[in-house]
Amino acid sequence: MRIAILDRSPHGNAADARSAVALRDAMPGHDVERVEVLDRLPAGFRADVALVRGDLRSSADLRALAALADAASVSGAFVIPAADALVAAEDKAVTASRLARAGVRMPATSFAPSDPPSFPCVVKPGVGWGGRGVVLGSNASEAAAACAALRAHDPGASVLYQEFIPHVRGITVQVAGGEAVCAFATRAPRGDFRTNPNLGGGCEDVPLDDAPCADAVRAVAACGLPFGSVDFVDAGGGRRVAVEVNAMPGIDPDDAADRRFARKIAAVVLAAGEHGRR
């Protein structure tokens, strides 16, 4: 089976290349190729399955990646994730709506220019990666200033205001094929509230029975994804609240849990490719 990993990383995110290595290694015996793209597919592109990945730092990046997913589908490939699922997971405004309808616990959320639900509030861009642009607004003027800065950077993106939930850690649950595969806890760096592992706060594996697996599976399904990861904040006392879904989670080929996740993704991809060829 020919599998193309379509990688749109115009900002030079090396994690995407490492994820491609992990996915290729999980599918021995198949023709797996990482194809670097920008705004169009290579001439004569053909694949049984196209895995779409990208470095999203603006709404323009998301639109370009969704257009590539559509183009790959038109070429005859089975595309994962499909363009609509990609948008559902990576546009945080759409994600919030999908998760609310699915009954997944989330912070109280509003969208600029509406007022924040409470103070302090988390101000975040509608499209982004690695915690970039996510700030804490302690009052209305700080929230408005943060919103203006995000709009200046990306005029086409939505801006979300979310209830700030004091938390002891973050928990990320990786899901594939309708089940939780593995989970890890993340800590915020000193002086920060963000628990994104890309910010250097550290992370550690946690057992699945200490993770909000049911909500994670529900969130991934609500976005129409066959696999993905869900970030939660852990407020203690059993309160775990979903704050983000990732359609293209990073996969470290040197990490045992991530390699297990890659194998589960591979099973989903190969099954989809067989179905698409029938």
* pLDDT tens digit sequence for 145-194: 999 999 999 998 899 999 999 998 999 999 999 999 999 999 998 889 99
Q: With cut-offs at 50, 70 and 90, classify the pLDDT of residue 274.
A: confident
Of 176, 162, 177, nearest to 233 by C-alpha is: 162
CATH of the domain at 74: 3.40.50
Residue in this structure with the two tokens 């899901």, named with its chain if needed: 175
The structure's pTM equals 0.95
pLDDT at 26: 97
* 95: containing domain: 90-104+166-246
- Preceding amide of 120 cis, omega within 30: yes
**Domain match, 158 and 171 both:** no
Q: What is the dihedral of CA 94, 98, 100, 103, to 10 degrees?
A: -160
* pLDDT tens digit sequence for 25-76: 999 999 999 999 999 999 999 999 999 999 999 999 999 999 999 999 999 9
**Domain match, 98 and 173 both:** yes
Residues near 122 by beta carbon (within 8 Å), at least 6 away in sequence: 107, 134, 135, 136, 137, 160, 161, 162, 163, 164, 193
pLDDT at 277: 53
Q: With cut-offs at 50, 70 and 90, classify the pLDDT of residue 278.
A: very low
Number of domains in the chain: 3
Q: With contact defined as beta carbons under 8 Å apart, do 27 and 269 qualify? A: yes
Q: Which two tokens stand for residue 181?
A: 């595969």
CATH of the domain at 191: 3.30.470.20
